[in-house]
Amino acid sequence: MENKKWEIVNGGVMVLGEKPESLSKHAFVSLTRGEGLNFAQLVINQVFTLLVMNQMKKTPGLLYAEVEGELKRGKGYGQTMTVWDGKTMPQLRNSGSHGFAMKFLGWVIHRKNTKTFYLTYKANGNIPTKDQATKILKNFGKYYDQEF
């Protein structure tokens, strides 16, 4: 993915790579969504997202990624979908910008006003649309609940 560039498509969705038409049997999808973020949380989330987006371009095994978010009436959300070939995701997840962001965002983003969902699953040849990804997360995702 190192030669790939992030592009804005479909009304502000940031996309890295082209959505594969077929996937190996080892491919999996990773989804993350945070809702109810206030303006300050959304700004901090965006700064870290930009750092992680740069790291994603250099991570082997990443086939495709989508990042999106929005702010309405003082509340916002951010959603990320990545598609991986094999088990290289921990290299991104646990190191560099993403590793730091996970630790820092746990303190800043995960508050009483927010809802955060995570899910990683075997792709079975399918990559969801952003709307399908939201429904999958809300129905099957792990809900992150942390009191501070």
90, 125 Cβ separation under 8 angstroms: no
Q: Which CATH class is domain 6-144?
A: alpha beta
How many Å is the maximal CA-CA distance in the chain? Answer: 43
Q: How far is CA 90 from the centre of its chain?
A: 14
Q: What is the pLDDT of residue 148?
A: 40
Q: What is the pLDDT of residue 109?
A: 58
88, 28 Cβ separation under 8 angstroms: no
Q: What is the pLDDT of residue 145?
A: 58
Q: pLDDT higher for 144 or 10?
A: 10
Report DSSP state, residue 10.
T
Residues ≥6 apart with Cβ < 8 Å to 75: 35, 36, 37, 38
Ordered by start, the domain boundaries in the chain are: 6-144
Region 16-43: what's the mean pLDDT? Answer: 87
Q: Which of 95, 89, 60, 81 is nearest to 130 (CA)?
A: 81
Tens digit of each residue's pLDDT (9 = 90 or more) over 58-70: 777 889 999 888 8
Q: Which amino acid, one-letter code, is at 67?
A: V
Across the chain, mean pLDDT equals 79
Q: What is the pLDDT of residue 139?
A: 93
- Work out whether the CA dihedral 11, 13, 18, 21 comes out positive or negative: negative
Q: How many CB atoms lie within 10 A of CB 21?
A: 7
Region 135-140: what's the mean pLDDT? Answer: 93
